[in-house]
Amino acid sequence: MSRAEQPSRRTLLAAAVVAAVAGSASPASAGTATTTLPTGGADPDGAAARPVDNRAWTSYTDWRTGTARGTRAVAGTRPGLVIAKPAGTTDYTDPHTGRTAAWEYATWTSPVHRLAVPATEAIASWNAHTPGGTWLQVELKGTYSDGTDTPWYVMGRWAAGDQDIRRTSVDDQSDGRSSVWTDTLAVDDPASGLRLVSYRLRLTLYRRPGTKLTPTVWRLGAMGSDIPDRFTVPATEPGLAKELIVPRYSQEIHKGQYPEYDNGGEAWCSPTSSQMIIEYWGGRLTPEQLAWVDPSYADPQICHAARYTYDYQYAGCGNWPFNAAYAATFEGLQGVVTRLSSLTDLETLIAAGIPAITSQSFLEKELTGAGYGTAGHLMTVIGFTADGDVIANDPASPSNEAVRRVYRRRDWENIWLRTKRYNASGKVVSGTGGVCYLYFPARPTSRQRRALAAVGVR
C-alpha cells in the first residue's frame, strides 16, 4: 500500500461500510468471545470480551474432519492436505492473461465453525506449498444471524509463483447484504444488527491434467470480528521494555523499480515488512530465486517479495492473506492475518520473541515524527521503550539505516486500533481496527504457543 495520503483501493471499497455506520451507536457485543482482554485494554463500553474469533485447521485430525472430494490428509511433522484422486477436470480462463487451460481438481470443505463472536467481517488465511503446475482457491460461505446463508465467496485464487495463473482476488461479489472487498468479507450494514454467526471454508486444489503434482496445504482458517465503531480507543499502560533485532529494509530505495507491481517500491510497505520478519526467522532466498532481479538493485529480496505477493486484481502488494501465504512459503514458517485488541497484546508477543506487522492509516499530524500521512501503511513492530513507546521498523524511510523509528504509544494505539477516522478532506473513512500479520515458526516453542494463544491464535 502507498504511504501517500490518498484513497487506497481498500479505503474506497470499504467506504460504503463506513458510511453505513458513521454516526451510529457502537454495536453491542453479540456473543461470547474466545479470550479476555489484557489489563488496560478494556472496551470503552465495559465489555470484557475480545471481539475476534480465530479458527484454523492444521492437524491431521482437523484435515480428516472435513468433507473430501478427491483430497486426503497426510500426517507428519507438518500435517496437510493433498490431491489423492481428482474429482474432475475443469477449464479456467485467467482474467489477467486471457489464457484458458484445463485443470484437474479436488476439494475439501471444512465442518461448520460457529463463531464465538458473531461477526461483521471475516478474513481467511492459508499456508501452502504450490509447486509449478498447481494452484488453489479458498472460498467462504457464511450463515447470517437470521438463519439465511451467503453464497460461496471466493476469498483468493493463489499460487506461490506467477507462471501458471496470476494470483488474484475477485471483485463484484455480493448478495446485497454482504460483500467481499479484496480480501475481506464484510456485512454491508453493520448498524442493522445483521451478523455472520458461522461459516464453512472450501478449499479447491488444482493441478495440470495427467500429472502427479499436488499443492500441500498446511493451514487454513479465518478470523471473524465485530470491532466497536470508534474514532478513539482506550489508553493502555506500558508493561514491557524490550527490542527484537529485526532486519531493516526501506521500501523507498526501490522507488521506480518494477512499476508493473503497483508502480514500484514506494507502494511496497507490505512485502517489505513481510521480508523483514521472514528474515528475522531465518528465511532466505537463493541466488537462483533472485536471478530475475536487476543486479544493480540493492536488497533484491524486496523486489522478489513484491512480485510474489502481488494481487493482479487489487493491482497491489497489500492483499493481507497473500502476504501471510508468501511468508509460509519459507521453510518452517506459518502466517496468519488477525486483529489484536491493544498494545498489551503486542507486548505479549514481543516478550515471546514474536514481532508483528500492523496496518494503520493516519494524517501526518496524528503520528508524531512520521513526517507523512497515509491512507494505508504496514509497519513492523519490533519492541517497546522503557516509557512504553513503540519501536517500529518503518519501511517508509529514506534508507535502511533510517528504518528504525520510535513512535509515541498513544499515537500508535489510536491510529492502529480505531475503525473510523477523518481524512485530509474531513471525510469519514475507515481504519483497520487492529489488523496485523503474525509470522511464527511452524513448530513454536511452548512460550511462543502461550503468547499466541493469549492473543487468540492457535
pLDDT > 70 in the chain, percent:
89
Which three cell numbers, joined as nine digits, stand for 386?
A: 522503557
pLDDT value, residue 50: 77
Which residues, in sequence order, are CB contacts of 284 under 8 Å at separation 6+? none
CB atoms within 10 A of CB 396: 24
Confidence grade of residue 271 (pLDDT, cut at 50, 70, 90): very high
In order of 325, 346, 432, the CA distances from 358 in angstroms are: 16, 10, 9
Distance CA(138)–CA(125), nearest Å, equals: 9
Confidence grade of residue 34 (pLDDT, cut at 50, 70, 90): very low
Q: Please name the helix (run of DSSP H) or strand (run of DSSP E) that holds residue 321, with its range, or none.
A: helix 320-327
* Whether the predicted pLDDT of 36 surpasses 70: no
Q: What is the pLDDT of residues 326-339, one digit of tens each?
A: 999 999 999 999 99
| The residue to which cell 500521512 is assigned | 373
Which residues, in sequence order, are CB contacts of 380 under 8 Å at separation 6+? 246, 273, 276, 277, 355, 356, 357, 358, 392, 393, 394, 395
* Whether the predicted pLDDT of 12 surpasses 50: no
Which residues, in sequence order, are CB contacts of 432 under 8 Å at separation 6+? 339, 359, 360, 361, 376, 416, 419
pLDDT value, residue 49: 64
Which three cell numbers, joined as nine digits, stand for 112?
A: 461448520
Integer Rg of the chain from CA? 21
**What are phi and psi for residue 390, nearest 5 degrees?**
-90, 130
CB atoms within 10 A of CB 99: 12
Distance CA(170)–CA(185), nearest Å, equals: 11
| The residue to which cell 518503518 is assigned | 394
Which three cell numbers, joined as nine digits, stand for 163?
A: 507462471
Distance CA(92)–CA(137), nearest Å, equals: 12
* Whether the predicted pLDDT of 5 surpasses 50: no
Distance CA(266)–CA(253), nearest Å, equals: 8
Q: What is the pLDDT of residues 356-400, one digit of tens each?
A: 999 999 999 999 999 999 999 999 999 999 999 999 999 999 999
pLDDT greater at residue 7 or residue 312:
312
Q: Cβ distance 169 to 315 under 8 Å?
A: no
Distance CA(307)–CA(57), nearest Å, equals: 28
- Whether the pTM exceeds 0.85: the reply is yes
Distance CA(418)–CA(430), nearest Å, equals: 8
* Whether the predicted pLDDT of 194 surpasses 50: yes
* Whether the predicted pLDDT of 27 surpasses 80: no
